[in-house]
Amino acid sequence: MNIEALIAKRLAAPKSYRVVTTYEDGEVDNHDTETLGQAELWARGMSVKIGKVLIDRQAKTTCRIVSVEITKL
């Protein structure tokens, strides 16, 4: 299997879980995954950032993550 076929297969796979990250300004970021394990891994990575000052490089501002949740789609 070549890399293009593998990427297409992963993108086409049905997503079952969503990681919802909420920022202090009310912005919400969603990340959809295929398995609960993938969702937990993504959520763990985002959870360590809760309460820390982060830089939004596109808007040139700072923000904070206030919550990270996993939901089933």
Whole-number Å distance between alpha carbons of 64 and 9: 34
- pLDDT tens digits for 29-70? 999 999 999 999 999 999 999 999 998 888 788 999 999 999
Task: Look at residue 5 and tell me if it is in a domain.
Answer: no
Task: Look at residue 3 and tell me if it is in a domain.
Answer: no
The pair of structure tokens assigned to 16 is 């079952």
Which residue range is the domain that position 32 belongs to? 15-72
* pLDDT(16) > 80: yes
Q: What is the dihedral of CA 52, 57, 60, 61, to 10 degrees?
A: -20
Q: What is the pLDDT of residue 43?
A: 97
Task: Look at residue 4 and tell me if it is in a domain.
Answer: no
Whole-number Å distance between alpha carbons of 49 and 65: 7
Task: Look at residue 48 and tell me if it is in a domain.
Answer: yes
pTM for the full model?
A: 0.82
Task: Look at residue 8 and tell me if it is in a domain.
Answer: no
Q: What is the pLDDT of residue 60?
A: 83
Q: How confident is the model at residue 71 (pLDDT cuts 50, 70, 90)?
A: very high
